[in-house]
Structure 1
């Protein structure tokens, strides 16, 4: 069973596990693009600035499945992950709960956070929001900045665009409605203020209904004003102009949490902690400069980016225009089956570019994910450039690529992850 929204199965599964999701505080983040970056900023800042044990759950994994769950910014050990996974799968089968692979993965994260006594967990929504399995977490009760009952302390919503229309809805408003489903009673919410007006209005309405204080962040320069002083986006190692919005969301969330930490735990965050956290943020596979070493020892410079939809493609295109001065580019592209290719390719490809379409193998723990057929990709790619080739093996492509163009690997995070894993295994 692949993607199937709903909270009944995950609720039943967690009940059999002793409700491990009720023992930590949470930050819950939804959105179409940028939510992983926001989670990365948050966990890095919290690890640098507090004595808390910080958990993070993001999906899909980049290289290995246990990468989805981190403790203090380090992936959990494979043995711990496998042990918890075995226990949860046994319960799922014994009680015939019928949980999906993603629901089992979510339960693994909650159980590990419980076992490891995680103080604060940063949770990225898997798909949508309102019926995503991460949305089983409940609001914290906070009075006068004092935590009386653990739960979700703050929610965040990043940029919302068209994606997964077959599941979330065919209009931006329908998709936004799904994402806004993470907004909870009396829990403050932070939203990317550069979203379209109809999205912002919907989020305002949902926030009002839930008595949630709603903050819209839309910085006008790289200098982000916070209660700690000005934080400069230029100190972030994450590339791309859009990271200004993502960092602003993360910093506003930290602003909201700061007085709660002080009142409840007597922990004072400082500007130095936050700057250090921003500086140490890592989120590979997104505008990542990477050196591929061939079997003969030749270094090839690549840009890796998981861009897979229209809004991510626009952001990648903007970075390309600012970085490569119109030079021809070789794109190595694979796309998940079922994706509309036009929003990705139409904004990205120019006639002088070369496209090498490729594939990726089975995705661990996600048997429903498959790569688009190479011939279909070639046919679609020829609409944008006549220089199109196909090769199912990304390593073979890189080993034999002889021209001196800039090389960008994109179209799917699964392709990027496979490349990194294969290179790591060499």
Structure 2
């Protein structure tokens, strides 16, 4: 099934459904839009609002993409809305795509439940993405996270062209908040699109890392440890942020892992500032919103979690003997996100270097990629194997190249053959232990195949595709299910 970006089908079908009217925050971007929607939703829930959130792709089941107060929509609610949209699609012959169908189902759920606010992640691009059919009057503001190269076949071969497509979610007379960017050219392109749309351009203010303060943050947590039996996570990131919305500088703890999340939080807090101070936004929010959000924003930041994005988990494996392992899961699906993952792993190594008892560390990467030309395995994976140094312990690296289960309702999504991933690994780095799954045949059991080694701390890293991340969470759910 080919991807045909257009708003014609979804607009036609939506005209035969109950109108959508919920106050909505619309978020586009190459990387970070899921994290931004997650943090926004967490802040709103902590402030007592009823919140709808739509993200894609889903992880374990399609319902995971539609959240009410951070919980997947019930099967009953999903099924009822899905049946209504499918019936209208058949009656009027609109033949919407799978993603257009899912988008309409999500919005029908939010409308039926009369949620206070909706936070929506763009699927791909922006201007012609299905989520961009939402009526102007429902949009509170639009936001754009980091722009980088991805989906070039559909969006263009340069960051400028991609930024132009993504900035196409700007709405007349509504705020458009631009997050911190890697490429200076992005801001110029986005400003031009926003001005042509007669939207209000706002650049994100930067949140800053600060030192841990016992009086604000409480006692410093125990030292980071990878030991699966007594795992201690990296400490939260203390941040400070100043804007016109906060009488004093905001000091909070961010538990999402990775320095890039501070940049994502910068966009989130600028969005919150805009909602509180911009007249068009403030008038659409529930009564007392400003007071409630300012009172509860620290709790919302602290509570934000985002599965599959630098997430730590404990898993039991049976080979060569039963044991627990620590797993870091991250849907690093393009070069920019792989660079972020590599940087985070390097930071973990630095933290472990301060432990005098560390002698050996084994890093085992379990990797799968989706076939998405012109992006190649080398484009995505080469940053993962940049050299790391440690003054105190040796590092052994292993790689397992695997495939993922075809995602529900997306038969056009295919794995890159593991043999291609293996060839990229061999080309990128030497001296790496390599296990390669079959390019065809059985997928079940691939994730469980890790080899143990006495005397070494180990970290298994599942990465490369969110569809592989989904397989990991299915495995984890089977282990955690009651017997």
What does residue 232 of structure 2 align with? none
Distance 2:376 2:31 in 1: 16
Q: Pick one of 230, 242, 245 that aligns with 1:225.
A: 242
1:30-45 alignment runs, 5 A limit: 30-45=28-43
1:27-426 alignment runs, 5 A limit: 27-50=25-48, 52-140=49-137, 151-219=138-206, 221-222=208-209, 223-226=240-243, 227-228=245-246, 229-232=248-251, 235-259=253-277, 263=283, 265-267=286-288, 268-294=291-317, 298-325=323-350, 328-338=362-372, 339-350=375-386, 353-386=397-430, 387-391=433-437, 393=443, 395-403=445-453, 404=456, 405-426=458-479
Distance 2:18 2:293 in 1: 37
Shift of the alpha carbon at 1:195?
A: 3.5
Deviations 1:108-156 (A, max 9, x none): 001101111122110100000000000001223xxxxxxxxxx101111
Shift of the alpha carbon at 1:262?
A: 5.7
8 A Cα contact 2:18 2:108, kept in partner:
no
What does residue 390 of structure 2 align with? none
8 A Cα contact 2:382 2:425, kept in partner:
no
Distance 2:409 2:343 in 1: 33
Question: Which 4+ residue blocks in structure 1 deviate beyond 6 angstroms?
Answer: none
Distance 2:347 2:205 in 1: 22
Q: Number of aligned residue pairs: give it.
A: 412
Q: TM-score, normalising length from structure 2?
A: 0.81
Shift of the alpha carbon at 1:400?
A: 4.2
Shift of the alpha carbon at 1:25?
A: 0.8
Shift of the alpha carbon at 1:220?
A: 6.2
State the SS of the aligned residue for 2:365: strand
* Long gaps (5+) in structure 2: 210-239, 354-360, 388-395
Deviations 1:223-242 (A, max 9, x none): 22132233346x11110001
Distance 2:82 2:287 in 1: 36
When residues 310 and 283 of structure 1 are mapped into structure 2, their CA distance, relative to the original with a 3 A threshold, is: same
Distance 2:128 2:293 in 1: 36
Distance 2:339 2:100 in 1: 31
Distance 1:2 1:272 in 2: 47
State the SS of the aligned residue for 1:36: helix
Distance 2:134 2:156 in 1: 24
Q: What is the RMSD of the two structures over their aligned residues, measured on CA atoms?
A: 2.0
Deviations 1:301-322 (A, max 9, x none): 0100000111101111111111
Shift of the alpha carbon at 1:105?
A: 0.4
Which of 1 and 2 has greater Rg?
2
State the SS of the aligned residue for 1:293: strand
Query: Mean Cα displacement is larger for which, 251-260 or 166-175?
Result: 251-260
8 A Cα contact 1:194 1:218, kept in partner:
no
* Long gaps (5+) in structure 1: 141-150
State the SS of the aligned residue for 1:318: helix
